[in-house]
Structure 1
Amino acid sequence: MEMPENIQEQLNQFQQAQQQAQSIAMQKQNLTIQLNESKKALDELSKIEDDQDVFKTAGPLLIKTTKADSEADLKDSIEMLEIREKTINKQEKRINDKLEELQTSLQSAMTQLQQPQ
């Protein structure tokens, strides 16, 4: 039995939404790792004396900087990552809602398709 075109289109939309959900989940995971690393670095930075040498990476180089500059950079980075995290969470909610809607619609269409005419 061949599937009607509208059901095939819904199925394609569902598969695309699943791929988007996977992509968002990977982005969220990477973002969480970056955020945790930045928070850990800021915590470690707070443990050193103000006059101790601090180095940061710039590509393959280590550059000497001040503790205050490093703290400011890390705080800015954390703030940006947290904003990105909120955006990713909103995207994740939207795509999950869309997936639920598509799944319900597909199940209903398939049920109707299986009923005797």
Structure 2
Amino acid sequence: MELPQNVQHQLAQFQQVQQQAQAISMQKQSVDLQLKETKKAVEELNKVEENADVYKTAGTLLIKVKKEDMTKELEDKIETLELREKTVQRQEERIMKRLQEMQSSIQEAMKGSGIQ
């Protein structure tokens, strides 16, 4: 038995939203990883003496910087990443809710078409 056109359309939309959910999940993992790495860098930076040599990368170069400047830069990055993490979390919640709604709608359409 062939699926009715409206059900086929709903399934296609569902698949697109699933792909969006996967992309958001990948973004979330990336942000989480960056956040962990940056927090670890701050933790390690806090262990070194105030007058220790600290370097940061700029492309293929290492540039000597003040510890306090590097700490501030990393803390700013953490703040930005935490905001991005919250945004991605909200996107993920919305898309998961949409997927659940679409799934229910597809099930109802299939029942209405006599498809189990």
Question: Structure 1 length normalisation: TM-score?
Answer: 0.95
Which residue does 1:22 correspond to in 2?
Answer: 22
Q: SS where residue 2 of structure 1 aligns?
A: coil
Which residue does 2:99 correspond to in 1?
Answer: 99
Which residue does 1:54 correspond to in 2?
Answer: 54
Shift, 1:8, TM fit: 1.2
Shift, 1:102, TM fit: 0.2
Which residue does 2:38 correspond to in 1?
Answer: 38
Shift, 1:47, TM fit: 0.5
Shift, 1:51, TM fit: 0.4
In structure 2, what is the Cα distance between the partners aligned to 1:56 and 1:114? 64
Aligned length: 115
In structure 2, what is the Cα distance between the partners aligned to 1:36 and 1:100? 31
Which residue does 1:85 correspond to in 2?
Answer: 85
Shift, 1:39, TM fit: 0.1
Amino acid at match of 2:51: D
Q: SS where residue 49 of structure 1 aligns?
A: coil
Consecutive unaligned residues in structure 1, runs of 5 or more: none
Q: SS where residue 70 of structure 1 aligns?
A: helix
Q: Name the Cα RMSD after superposition.
A: 0.9
In structure 2, what is the Cα distance between the partners aligned to 1:8 and 1:98? 17
**Could you tell me the percent identity over the aligned residues?**
56
Runs ≥4 residues deviating over 6 A: none
TM-superposition CA deviations, 1:77-109 (whole Å, max 9, x none): 000000000000010001000000000001111
In structure 1, what is the Cα distance between the partners aligned to 2:52 and 2:31? 30
Question: Are residue 75 (structure 1) and residue 75 (structure 2) matched?
Answer: yes
Shift, 1:7, TM fit: 1.0
Shift, 1:2, TM fit: 2.5
In structure 1, what is the Cα distance between the partners aligned to 2:4 and 2:82? 44
Shift, 1:113, TM fit: 1.5
